[in-house]
Amino acid sequence: MARRKFIAGNWKMNLDRKGAVALAEGLVKAAANVVGCDIAVCPPACYLEAVGQIVKGSNVALGAQNVYHQANGAFTGELSTAMLLDLGCKYVILGHSERRHVLGETDAEINKKVIAALDAGLIPILCVGELLAEREAGNTMSVIRTQFDGSLAGVSREKLKTVVIAYEPVWAIGTGKVASPAQAEEVHLGLRKIIAERYNNEIAQIVPIQYGGSVKPDNAVDLLGQPNIDGALVGGAALKVDQFMGIVAGA
């Protein structure tokens, strides 16, 4: 079964209101005639509303960069799934390496967020990926397996069908060092095997697996041409309309 390509921009903690609005306007215009590829942008939380107004009804969907698992209450600084839905979000990035390694998020915490997102009808973009030392020690797939099992514990077959996975090798994020198409494909295929083992082969063929880590227009075609790479989660290159659309064109 053919999986649709899905290109998402993770704007991280970048831009100001003016820049976010201009980028969203530029993307909506540039993406107006795109068919056969899903597109989303994930702006900083404080610009979700402004960007959401601009992308509403367009080819560009809205995603958040994080969510908290509780429905409401005394959780200073956090946002709930209902708040994200209220702002028009369809997706939420969870378990990004910067949240794992800079903010100290654990698989158990990510798991609660994944479950809360799925229960609310948000599509999680679940990130997994190894550190350079883990790759060099030959532990890439065991790290990925642990993150997969920990982050998706208790997620049913039906629910897994709506999850997007993003393989983001930590050593390739923001470094300009992109995984080679063969390196990325090997992990994507490994992830599909893990899904088949833990769930079944039908679901393994359905779940989209994006690659993230220094994706640019000039390496997108080779990466996205791999049989098990279904899209890209883009950081730096998502901040410029022409670069992001160059990656979409590659898909």
Does residue 235 touch ligand 13P according to CB under 6 A?
yes
Does residue 233 touch ligand 13P according to CB under 6 A?
yes
Question: What is the 3 state secondary structure string of 40-64?
Answer: EEECCHHHHHHHHHHHCCCCEEEEE
Binding mask 152-191 for ligand 13P (x = CB under 6 A): ----------------x----xx-----------------
Minimum CB–partner distance for residue 233 and ligand 13P (Å): 4
Q: How far apart are CA 181 and CA 169, in angstroms?
A: 13
Nearer of residues 154 and 174 to ligand 13P, judged by Cβ: 174
Instruction: Please identify which residue in the block is written with the tokens 């993406």.
Output: 31
Nearer of residues 181 and 196 to ligand 13P, judged by Cβ: 181
Nearer of residues 66 and 214 to ligand 13P, judged by Cβ: 214
Nearer of residues 168 and 185 to ligand 13P, judged by Cβ: 168
Question: Which residue blocks in the chain are alpha helix, DSSP H?
Answer: 17-30, 48-55, 81-86, 97-101, 107-120, 132-136, 140-151, 157-160, 181-198, 201-206, 217-224, 241-250
User: Is the distance from CB of 24 to CB of 55 less than 8 angstroms?
Assistant: yes
**96 labelled catalytic:** yes
**168 labelled catalytic:** yes
Which residue ranges make up the site for ligand 13P (CB under 6 A)? 10, 96, 168, 173-174, 212-215, 233-237
